[in-house]
A and B are shown apart, each in its own frame.
Chain A
Amino acid sequence: MKIHKGLVTATVATLTAISLAGCVGGSGNAGTNNQPTGGEPSGTLTGLFFSGFKDTYEQIAADFKKKYPNVDVKFDYQGGDVGALTMTQLQGGTAPDILTSFPGGTKTDPADTVVSLAASGRIAPIGAPWAKDVPDAWKKSVNYEDKTFAYPGALQPLAAIFNKTKIDELGLKIPTTLDEVYGLCTAAKSKGVYAYSLGLGDPAGPQMLTYSQLGTLEADQAQFDADLASGKKTYADSVWVDQFEIYKKMGDQGCFGEGALGRSRDQAGEEVAKGSALATVDVGAALAPIQKKAPNSSFEVAPMPATNNAADTKVVALPGFVNTINAKAKNPTAAQAFLAFMGEAEPSVTYANGFASVPVLPNDAYKAPKELTAFADLIKRGAYQPLGTVQAEVQAQLNQTIQSLILGQSTPRQVAEKLDSVYKK
């Protein structure tokens, strides 16, 4: 029995020590690099991407393997909230070499954004040749302290996606002013359909209309972000309240149809594909699934008017996902090579087409499809507005309080005040 007692005591003590050591240890990467930095890429390359774009990444990976046959590409694809998964993996030290992140961000907002990740040393700078070609307008999205930390991917519109076939069939036209927007709602109702199918029941759905109109209402988004951070401005004394007024009015006029608050973004797209609704307001990536559901219909992407002067209207453009390199990547050489490869002409076109977007990096090999011709022209002419920085908690509250607004339980001003209450200076 003495032997047992001694054995038990020793085992328990050892296991406790091991357990506690595991707890206090930092979130290091579980393995060692399977290739030293530099040299010809080889070994295994891992990555985490959104499952909706699996085909696109697999195509790029296959082309990459042709160029670098010694690299074994093992990508993982996840649906749902990829940002949250990326952060959890980084925190736990189990993140892959290449990550899916979001452009811009702020240091004060812990999120899966370029600035937040770079500031906390979680992602590595990218030494690809294309880094010097990132247009000035998008440097803020992928750079931190003058270094490039992300592959910028492609610009997608955040705008109205119209079922052109249905709107022509009903003898209606795409609105170019705010009054025409309200007019379209009334006209659509009289024809037995409704104008705008929004995913108001989706965690990320309600914000889309707000952002699409802020592109026109807010002249200088970057300045507004700076004023917000310095305390010079608040959401409650900004044009955000004007947008919430428009939102409320559109809701009251029945622009969003029956059951708007229970609708997800996918369901909103289905309504447009079916022709029950004339348009949805979403990012460009929502176009492909809609087209798939209605192959015989044509669609058009158009900016969302927010004033009665059509010349004021600007389309909001944003890089959707961006790709970053884990600072603790097991295979940094292959990761750097892969992101450098993504910026080359052909893979860049593959990426842009997969995301129904326009390449951020200048690319002569790219030709916009019919639906995106107008958007591509606006980008070329500079008649667009980048999306401002919205903190994670502000974004979550924005989506929830817009639902309250539509329910009639909050006023436009109260929605803005709620955003101020969770904003981190």
Chain B
Amino acid sequence: MSSSGVEVPTRSGVPPVAAELSKSRRRRRRVRSVGRDLWWLILPGAAVYLYVVVVPTFQGMQGAFTDWSFATVGAPNFTGLENFTRIFNTDAGPAVLRTLQLALVVVILQNVIGLALALLFNGRVFGRNVLRTIVFAPMVVSALVVGYLFKYIFGPPGVGGVNQVLAALGLETVDFLGNPTTAMIIIIVTVLWQSIGGNMVIYLAGLQGVPAELEEAAALDGAGYWKRFWFVVRPLLAPAITINLMLGLIGGLKIFDQIFALTNGGPGNQTQTIATLIYSYFSQYADYGRSAALALLLAIGIAILSIIQFSVLRRQERNS
């Protein structure tokens, strides 16, 4: 477009804007056709995924409605909802509540601490790259190994590292894993120690995308640190918050390794969650049908909660 609003003809006779448009259309068409030519390349991967994930998932769903167990000789019998009623007549009720509590606490703390660390290490802190690495390092260790490590750190009086320090200082020792309340706290501490690095990295990535000019402008307008964070940084961090909360909730609802290593659901079944019950039904009692039923309930529960959370967060993101 010319400044006068009249199209200036080019040597080809096509106005430049129209030429540009047709060029980009051609480019778009070419890109689409390339994709169409090559999409079948995903077939090997899709086949593996189908065989390893999709088929066993449907098999498990089917098993949830049968009396399938280690003792089954031949095809299992269809039992309808019997596995589901058995589950809720035993330990699953308290385990469901405990799972929700654990997930909620872990998600909140993960994000609060993860965000705080990201803000800290995004600023001018001496040795921040080393500190970032230290915080992130536990992420690469097996969760089960971390669980056993903490089992020794918080072991009983006379054995555990923390208790030996307490005893050396003349303080009263604590049976951390033998008391249901402290055992649950140690599980949360273990999970947080391992997972906070992941949250921090996602928030750091989000913070890299916040333009410095915006913060400077807000500062010039007299906004303090918290106002700048709340009104400038936070809205721009919305996608990172969404991802962290989603991943945190999904992970929090299926925490298994740390509980298995630290307490195995004890003492007195009081750190038992849905994930550890699924393991018990499957591995200890060889009751595959009941285990599949509980796993199915967990999957449905996670899906429902995730959809609700996602839609709420997306709305907030748009509003931000």
Proximity string of chain A (47-63) to chain B, C-beta cutoff 8 Å, 1 when within and 0 when not: 00000000000000000
- CB A283 to nearest CB in B, in angstroms, measures 19
Instruction: For chain A, residues 99 to 145, give those with C-beta under 8 angstroms from any C-beta of chain B.
Output: 107-111, 116, 119-121
Q: Is B197 in contact with chain A by the CB < 8 A criterion?
A: no
Tell me if A7 is interfacial: C-beta within 8 Å of chain B.
yes
Q: By the criterion CB–CB under 8 Å, are B73 and A121 in contact?
A: yes
- Ranked nearest first, the 10 interchain pairs of A and B with the lowest CB-CB distance are A261-B178, A259-B156, A404-B268, A262-B178, A110-B71, A259-B175, A110-B70, A262-B177, A403-B267, A262-B156
Known: A23-B55, A400-B269, A407-B267. A8 touches B163 (CB 8 A): no
Given A120-B73, A201-B178, also A259-B173 (CB < 8 A):
yes
Residue of B nearest to A395 (CB): B284
Given contacts A12-B43, A396-B280, contact A20 B163 (CB under 8 A): no
A261 and B284 contact, CB distance less than 8 A? no
A422 at the A/B interface (Cβ < 8 Å)?
yes
- CB atoms of A261 and B177 under 8 A apart: yes
Which residues of the other chain, B, contact A392 by a CB distance below 8 angstroms?
A: 284-286
Which of these, A11, A87, A201, A399, contacts B47 with CB under 8 Å? A11
CA distance A200 to B183 in the complex (A): 14
Q: Which residue of A lies closest to B183 (CB)?
A: A262
Kindly list chain B residues whose C-beta atoms are within 8 Å of the C-beta of A270: 159
Q: Are A201 and B156 touching (Cβ within 8 A)? A: yes
Give Cα A8–Cα B47 distance, bound, in whole angstroms: 11
Residue of B nearest to A405 (CB): B268
- A168 at the B interface (CB under 8 A): no
What A residues does B55 contact at CB under 8 A? 19-20, 22-23
**Bound-state Cα–Cα, A302 to B33, Å:** 82
> Closest A-chain residue to B158, C-beta based?
A276
How far, in Å, is B274 (CB) from chain A's closest CB? Answer: 16
CB–CB A400/B265 < 8 A: yes
Q: List 6 A-B contacts (CB under 8 A).
A: A11-B47, A15-B47, A16-B50, A258-B157, A270-B159, A403-B268
B284, A262: Cβ atoms closer than 8 Å: no
Q: List, in ascending order, chain B residues with CB within 8 A of A263's CB.
A: 155-156, 159, 178
Enumerate chain B residues within 8 angstroms of A120, measured Cβ to Cβ: 70-73
Contact A400:B266 (CB < 8 A) given known A11-B47, A262-B178: yes
Closest-by-CB residue of A relative to B47 is: A15
Contacts of B59 in A (CB 8 A): 23
Instruction: Report, as a range, how many residues of chain B touch the other chain.
Output: 35 or more
**19 more CB-based (< 8 A) A-B contacts, given A111-B286, A400-B269, A407-B179:** A1-B36, A4-B37, A84-B284, A110-B285, A116-B71, A120-B73, A203-B266, A259-B156, A260-B175, A261-B175, A262-B267, A274-B158, A392-B284, A392-B285, A392-B286, A393-B284, A393-B285, A400-B266, A406-B267
B contact residues around A44 at 8 Å (CB)? none
Q: Mark B226-266, 1 if CB is under 8 A from A, else 0.
A: 00000000000000000000000000000000000001111
Report whether B266 and A19 are in contact in the complex, using a CB–CB cutoff of 8 Å: no
**A81 is an interface residue with CB less than 8 A from chain B:** yes
**How many residues of chain A have a CB within 8 Å of chain B?**
58
A330 to chain B, nearest CB (A): 21
A259 with B178: CB separation less than 8 A: yes
Q: B283 — which chain A residues lie within 8 A by C-beta?
A: 81, 84, 87-88
B288: chain A residues at CB < 8 Å are 91
Give CA–CA (A270, B160) in the complex, Å.
12
Residue of B nearest to A410 (CB): B268
Output the least CB separation between B142 and chain A (Å).
14
**How many angstroms between the C-alpha atoms of A421 and B91 in the bound complex?**
11
Tell me if A271 is interfacial: C-beta within 8 Å of chain B: yes
Which of A23, A258, A274 counts the most chain B CB atoms within 10 A? Answer: A258
A binding-site residues for B, Cβ under 8 Å: 1, 4, 7-8, 11-12, 15-16, 18-20, 22-23, 81, 84, 87-88, 90-91, 107-111, 116, 119-121, 200-201, 203, 257-264, 267, 270-271, 274, 276, 392-393, 396, 399-401, 403-404, 406-407, 409-410, 421-422
Q: Which residues of A contact B264 (CB under 8 A)?
A: 203
> What are the residues of chain A within 8 A of B206 when measuring CB–CB?
none
Q: How far is the CB of A29 from chain B (nearest CB, A)?
A: 16
- Report how far A47 CA is from B175 CA in the complex, Å: 40
Contact between B70 and A201 (Cβ–Cβ < 8 Å)?
A: no
Q: In the complex, which residues 46-77 of chain B have their Cβ closer than 8 Å to any Cβ of chain A?
A: 46-47, 50-51, 54-56, 59, 69-73
Q: Which residue among B59, B70, B71, B151 has the maximum number of chain A CB atoms within 10 Å of its CB?
A: B70
Which residues of chain A are within 8 angstroms of B176 by Cβ–Cβ distance?
A: 262
**Least CB separation from B279: chain A residue:** A84
- Cα A184 to Cα B24 in complex, Å, equals 91
Chain A residue contacts of B70, Cβ below 8 A: 87, 90-91, 110-111, 116, 120
- Asked if A271 meets B267 with Cβ closer than 8 Å, knowing A16-B50, A88-B283, A396-B285, the reply is no
Q: CA of A403 to CA of B268 in the docked complex: distance in angstroms?
A: 5
Q: Could you tell me the distance in whole angstroms from the C-beta of A251 to the nearest C-beta in chain B? A: 12
Contact partners of A108 in chain B: CB under 8 A: 71
Q: Are B269 and A15 in contact (CB under 8 A)?
A: no
B179 surroundings in chain A (CB, below 8 A)? 261-262, 407
B156 touches A260 (CB 8 A): yes
Q: Are A15 and B50 in contact (CB under 8 A)?
A: yes
**Cα-based distance from A304 to B228 in the complex (angstroms):** 70
The answer to whether B266 and A201 have CB atoms under 8 Å apart is yes
The reply to whether the CB of B180 lies closer than 8 angstroms to some CB of chain A is yes
Distance in Å: Cβ of B28 to nearest Cβ of chain A: 19
A110 and B286 form a contact (CB under 8 A): yes
